[in-house]
Structure 1
Amino acid sequence: MTVLRILHLYPAELGINGDAGNVLALAERARWRGVEVDVVTHAPGAELPASADIVHIGSGPLSAQRAVHDDVLRIAPRLRQWRDAGVPFVAIAGGWQLLGTQLETPDGEVLAGAAVFPSRAALGGKRHVGEIVVRLADGTTIAGFENHSARTVLDGAEPLGRVVRGTGNDGSVEGVVVGSSIGTHLHGPLLPMNPVLADRLLSAALRGELPPVPQTERVDRYATNARRAIADRLGVSL
């Protein structure tokens, strides 16, 4: 790979919670390690690039989800091909819901999803807004901010982690993992706050371990302090 291509789906419609920071974090952490990066954005009706190494989709309200829904279904076969080929996806909240198998609106309408993730979401009348701490299967603790009304069911997939404080999918688990791809309710944005996830996505895309460099060591200390502040406010330990 000579250039790492990051595909950012619908940045104008889905990106109300600082989600563009995830793309910036991926790009900068790759560049700090000497990797050339090409960030490509995709809007409804446009053609997808011939290839992608990482795919990102951010969050948005139901009105924004409706605005891109037809296009999501149009490009869904290509997205699934990339997933099957090992391209890592990072899907945030509303974007994750669109890349699941279905999204049920509060009035009972069911919108078909792209089926990149085996997850189903139902939007309710109660919003879950606040900081959240999640423990991954390997014991790593991540933190962020959730702002959603969804109850999410995983159909045979593993969750990203277990909720320590917060709501997540159902009050017990949070997010989803399929291969090297993740879906999550965490904003903040997610990857600057939790660089371990950013580097896992980059490692999957670049097919190798990423060495630490001075720039990552410095910003990772800031991220650790930010997560610790959230944990302290919620009365939990990292």
Structure 2
Amino acid sequence: MSALTLVHLYARELDINGDSGNVLALERRAAWRGLAIDVLRIGPGEPLPAEAHLVHIGSGSSGARAQLHDDVLSRAERLCAWAATGVPFLAVAAGWQLLGRSVTEPDGSVVAGAGVYPSTAALGAERAVGEVAGDSMLGEVAGFENHAAVTRLDPGVQPLARLTRGHGNAGASGPQGDAPEGLLAGALVATGLHGPFLPMNPAWADRLLQDAATSAGAVLPAGDARVDAVDALARRSRQAIRRRLGLAAG
């Protein structure tokens, strides 16, 4: 098959927590499966391609999010059209807010999002900060949360994971554990976890690559020994977080 096209939105503007590592993980894991992937890094004002097989948007400060708001809305129609045809998306924290339905600012004002994700966010003064661990449909997840948002999923929409330790979508005012985290709706994946997320939780990288291959009418090839080696390293990293949080190894 020809190369997959990965659109990395605002790679320079939204990388406050190293979320570009998610794109690096996707590139490497695709290469280890013999799958070519072209990464298009799209900045403000730069045109989107006619076609995409995977979209990533990372996190940033509230100031960066505000500066990008109008640019995101100008792309909303194309982004929503991609999502409607099954193109997988991964959005992290502030990027998720930009691609959601709306964001309520601390002063109570509401700004519209691109509407790709069936969710809304409300920003507060308290931040949820720290390592987290939990479980998802693809097994255990772990990472680091650093956000001031309470995120609500539309009725019937499922979270990506449920945290045993961590605040997740409930925000800093929510319980420290047994909390929904992220969003999973078809090929749409969103999370508030950094670290970055995919190197720590590579099963989700493979899920995104499989969905991308499907959107291109292909099948994800089997990986080589490097996939297994990196998976083992990621598993040890998740277990280290679980130990620091006082949890049994997953």
TM-score over 0.5 for the alignment? yes
| Equivalent residue for 1:212, pick from 223, 229, 245 | 223
**SS of corresponding position for 2:152:** strand
Structure 1 CA distance, aligned partners of 2:221 and 2:141? 19
Runs of at least 5 residues in structure 1 that lack an aligned partner in the other structure: none
Contact 2:132 2:144 in 1 (8 A): yes
1:233 is aligned to 244
1:62 is aligned to 62
2:235 is aligned to 224
**SS of corresponding position for 2:229:** helix
Q: What's the offset of the Cα at 1:32?
A: 1.1
1:178 is aligned to 185
Q: What's the offset of the Cα at 1:134?
A: 2.3
Question: Are residues 1:31 and 2:42 paired?
Answer: no
Letter matched to residue 3 of structure 1: A
Structure 2 CA distance, aligned partners of 1:35 and 1:144? 27
Runs of at least 5 residues in structure 2 that lack an aligned partner in the other structure: none
Count residues in correspondence.
237
2:22 is aligned to 22
Letter matched to residue 220 of structure 1: D
1:173-200 deviation line (CA, Å, top 9, x unaligned): 0111111111110100000010000000
Structure 2 CA distance, aligned partners of 1:178 and 1:85? 13
Q: What's the offset of the Cα at 1:236?
A: 1.5
Q: What's the offset of the Cα at 1:162?
A: 1.0
Q: What's the offset of the Cα at 1:210?
A: 4.3
2:154 is aligned to 155
- RMSD over aligned Cα atoms: 1.1
Structure 1 CA distance, aligned partners of 2:168 and 2:220? 29
Contact 1:5 1:38 in 2 (8 A): yes
Letter matched to residue 141 of structure 2: I
1:199 is aligned to 206
Q: How do 1:127-146 residues align onto structure 2 when only pairs under 5 Å count?
A: 127-137=127-137, 140-146=139-145
Structure 2 CA distance, aligned partners of 1:136 and 1:223? 15
Contact 1:199 1:210 in 2 (8 A): no
Letter matched to residue 48 of structure 1: L
Identity %: 51
1:148-188 deviation line (CA, Å, top 9, x unaligned): 00001001211111111000001420111111111110100
Letter matched to residue 226 of structure 2: Q
Q: What's the offset of the Cα at 1:212?
A: 3.3
Letter matched to residue 148 of structure 2: S
